[in-house]
């Protein structure tokens, strides 16, 4: 089956998100319940697994998922770091269009001299989970959020280390997200060890379970190396990227990287086992992906492919199109519109991505992906990138500034420390020196197929002038379309997000009235989400969309929150 027919078939079979039985006997189809959606999200993940050509370490669960599903080798994050990328996933908007492009906007205030702030999308923007909840889905997040803004109380039914589809109402469709942190950059630090909170996946569904180690919460503790499972021999000889130094220090970091991937695969398997045990495997769309590229130096935070490209696998019910490959370009901004398309809902007009599956799948494949890099912790740069199927164009808005930013967190990685040590000793080769140049060209052009590590700048070669012009014009068009000014100082960005005010805007308190035995709630702040609880002890807040009846005396709790604004206080009223 070719890719086009695969795409058309997926579109037809997933229209309205009703799973149609497609057994080989061609029995009469019957309408079933809406499909569930399960996201398995790992961190700092390049294409280091066998379904994408790297057989260094065994990943039986991901390999099975790929054999039973479709692999997507051309998925790109909108940034080389997690929080801006997660903002794109959650909203369907580019981070640099909503003020989510600077990493860690609520910290590093001493270094930047800036106030704490959050991204502020347009008023109509909602988190994708909020939109799915409005359509009856039970939405859970286990457990990391990190969107460059605080999620409104309406975003999730549950968001915690114990969030699970098992806590939903009987037969309620679910959208469940499980985040795996084993592969995070910090997994390369010394002393080496897994974050013990990952064991939560073996206990998921038991909301009363509390894991502790040495009397401390699991999130505050780690299993040290001597107690870690070893999934790959420590004396394995790893292939090291040319921008790193191939020595014992880097080899050990490579071992950690692959050992962490194997442990992550084990955790993925635990969740999949629960799905099968609950009899939900064939009524669930399973999506595995990483939140951006790899964790090594010159990968994370950069907008080379090593920092943007991350693998994705989707398993459809009944193993539809098993073992196939979907080669089209996909951006993180495409996730939100695709989710809506898969449940039969038209993507929102404000969304800057396009659906790549479902009823409203875009008729035209994506021709380009776009990305941005700005401040990381206490260090600021301004870089934009556009890529087609082969070439990437990078525009540096601070060419007088070097590539390397001395981010303290990254410098905890031993191979990063080794690069800096050998740089100071004058022992790096020309490729390894590139990252440490004191300045950078205004424009760069790379042939990503023939130069996958993006080391040979073609921007000034006459034979590539047409491609350079094409991608430069595409970047100009994109920047204008999303209202992104890379030269805008961050202080002025904050002023823009806050509508010229000097303090963070606040969400107006809810207005609550009783009319004809129905509760009517409104908020003066445009775009504010309204959450309410009829029972103060309820685990989650319900999403208010229309007046509802009160049949007996109730204590009603109401809270309003526009993304990027300070949320309202909780208003409690008694209704008799």
Query: C-alpha angle 420/400/469, rounded to 5°?
Result: 110
Give the confidence band of 550 by pLDDT, cuts at 50, 70, 90. confident
Is the pLDDT reported for residue 11 higher than 80?
no
pTM over 0.75: yes
Considering only CA atoms, which of 365, 382, 391, 399 is closest in space to residue 470? 391
Of the candidates 329, 338, 337, the one whose C-alpha atom is nearest the C-alpha of residue 305 is: 329
The predicted pLDDT at position 32 comes to: 57
Domain 511-575 adopts which CATH fold?
Immunoglobulin-like (2.60.40)
pLDDT of res. 206:
72
Write down the residue that tokens 């035995």 correspond to.
517
Residue 109 backbone dihedrals phi, psi, to 5 degrees: -65, -30
Strand, coil or helix: 199: helix
Q: Residue 92, Cα to own-chain centre: how many angstroms?
A: 11
Q: Which of 9-23, 220-234, 470-484, 490-504 is predicted least confidently?
A: 9-23
Torsion of CA 47, 352, 129, 137, to 10 degrees: -100
Q: What is the mean pLDDT of residues 558-572?
A: 98
Helix, strand or coil, per DSSP, at residue 308: helix
Residue 24 reports pLDDT greater than 60: no
Return the closest-CA partner of residue 294 out of 247, 260, 246, 271.
260
Which CATH topology does 373-497 take? Arylsulfatase, C-terminal domain (3.30.1120)
Confidence grade of residue 554 (pLDDT, cut at 50, 70, 90): confident
Mean pLDDT of 407-422: 98
Mean pLDDT for the stretch of residues 516-545:
94
DSSP string, 393-462: EEEES-TTS-S----TTGGGSHHHHHHHHHHHTT---HHHHGGG-SS--SEEEEETTT-TT--S--TT-G
Q: What is the average pLDDT value for the chain, to the nearest integer?
A: 91
Q: What percent of the chain has pLDDT over 90?
A: 84
Displacement of CA 164 from its chain's centroid (Å): 19
- Average pLDDT for 493-515: 96
Work out the number of other CB atoms within 10 angstroms of the CB of residue 439: 12
Residue labelled with tokens 């920047």: 479
Residues 6+ apart with CB under 8 A from 17: 34, 35, 342, 343, 344, 358
What is the structure's pLDDT at 296? 98
Q: How much is the pLDDT for 576?
A: 76
Q: Environment class of residue 367 by beta-carbon count within 10 Å: exposed (0-12), middle (13-18) or buried (19+)? A: exposed
Question: Catalytic amino acids?
Answer: 82
* pLDDT tens digits, one per residue of 168-196: 999 999 999 999 999 999 999 999 987 66
- Where, residue-wise, is CATH 3.40.720.10 in the chain? 3-14+36-109+137-363
CA 209: distance to chain centroid?
A: 27
What are the tokens at 320?
Answer: 């539809």
pLDDT digits (tens, 9 = 90+) for 65-102: 999 999 999 999 999 999 999 999 999 999 999 999 99
Q: Where in the chain is the domain with CATH 2.60.40.10?
A: 511-575
Banded model confidence at residue 525, pLDDT cuts 50, 70, 90: very high
* Per-residue pLDDT tens over the stretch 454-482: 999 999 999 999 999 999 999 999 999 99
Q: In which residue ranges of the chain is CATH 3.30.1120 found?
A: 373-497
What's the pLDDT score for residue 1? 38
Other C-beta atoms closer than 10 Å to the C-beta of 535 total: 10
What pLDDT is attached to residue 222? Answer: 67
Q: What is the pLDDT of residue 6?
A: 43
pLDDT of residue 29 exceeding 90: no
CATH number of 3-14+36-109+137-363: 3.40.720.10
Interstrand relation of 36-42 and 174-180 (parallel, antiparallel or unpaired):
parallel
What are the CA-CA distances from residue 571 to residues 66, 280, 543 (Å)? 48, 39, 15
Q: Give the Cα separation of 436 and 444 in Å (integer).
A: 16
């Amino acid at each position: 089956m070719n890719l086009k027919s695969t795409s058309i078939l997926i579109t037809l079979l997933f229209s309205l998100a009703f799973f149609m039985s497609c057994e080989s006997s061609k029995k009469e189809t019957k309408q079933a319940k809406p499909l569930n959606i399960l996201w398995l999200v790992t961190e700092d993940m390049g294409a280091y697994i066998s379904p994408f050509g790297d057989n260094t370490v065994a990943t039986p669960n991901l390999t099975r998922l790929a054999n039973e599903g479709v692999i997507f080798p051309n998925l790109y994050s909108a940034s080389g770091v997690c929080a801006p990328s997660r903002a794109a996933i959650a909203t369907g908007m580019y981070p640099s269009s909503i003020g989510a492009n600077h990493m860690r906007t609520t910290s590093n205030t001493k270094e930047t001299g800036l106030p704490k702030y959050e991204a502020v999308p347009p008023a109509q923007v909602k988190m994708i989970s909020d939109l799915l909840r409005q359509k009856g889905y039970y939405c859970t997040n286990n457990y990391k959020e990190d969107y460059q803004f605080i999620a409104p109380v309406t975003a999730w039914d549950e968001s915690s280390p114990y969030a699970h589809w098992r806590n939903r109402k009987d037969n309620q469709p679910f959208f469940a997200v499980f985040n795996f942190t084993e592969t995070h950059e910090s997994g390369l630090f010394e002393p080496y060890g897994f974050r013990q909170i990952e064991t939560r996946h073996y206990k998921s569904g038991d909301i009363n379970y509390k894991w502790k180690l040495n009397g401390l919460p699991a999130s505050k503790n780690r299993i040290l190396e001597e107690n870690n499972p070893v999934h790959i021999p420590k004396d394995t000889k790893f292939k090291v990227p040319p921008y790193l130094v191939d020595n014992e220090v880097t080899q050990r970091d490579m071992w950690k990287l692959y050992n962490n991937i194997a442990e992550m695969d084990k955790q993925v398997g635990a969740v999949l086992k629960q799905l099968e045990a609950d009899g939900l495997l064939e009524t669930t769309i399973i999506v595995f992906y990483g939140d951006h590229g790899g964790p090594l130096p010159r990968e994370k935070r950069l907008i080379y492919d090593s920092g943007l490209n991350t693998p994705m696998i989707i398993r459809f019910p009944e193993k539809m199109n098993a073992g196939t490959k979907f080669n089209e370009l996909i951006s993180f901004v495409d996730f939100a519109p695709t989710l809506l398309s898969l449940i039969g809902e038209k993507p929102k007009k404000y969304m800057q991505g396009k659906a790549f599956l479902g009823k409203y799948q875009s008729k035209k494949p994506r021709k380009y992906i776009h990305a941005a890099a700005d401040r990381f912790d206490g260090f600021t740069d301004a870089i934009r990138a556009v890529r087609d199927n082969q070439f990437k164009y990078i525009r540096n808005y601070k060419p007088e500034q070097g590539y390397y930013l001395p981010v303290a967190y990254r410098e905890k990685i031993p191979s990063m420390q080794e690069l800096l040590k050998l740089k100071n000793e004058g022992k790096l080769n020309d490729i390894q020196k590139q990252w440490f140049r004191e300045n950078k060209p205004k424009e760069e052009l790379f042939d990503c197929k023939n130069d996958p590590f993006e080391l040979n700048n073609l921007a000034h070669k006459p034979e590539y002038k047409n491609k350079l012009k094409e991608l430069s014009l595409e970047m100009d068009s994109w920047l204008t379309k999303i209202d992104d000014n890379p030269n805008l100082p961050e202080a002025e960005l904050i002023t823009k997000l806050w509508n010229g005010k000097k303090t963070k805007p606040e969400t107006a308190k809810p207005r609550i009235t009783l009319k004809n035995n129905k509760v009517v709630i409104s908020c003066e702040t445009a775009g504010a989400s309204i959450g309410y609880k009829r029972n103060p002890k309820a685990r989650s807040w319900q999403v208010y969309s229309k007046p509802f009846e009160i049949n007996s005396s109730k204590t009603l709790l109401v809270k309003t929150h526009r993304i990027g604004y300070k949320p309202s206080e909780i208003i409690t009223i008694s209704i008799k």
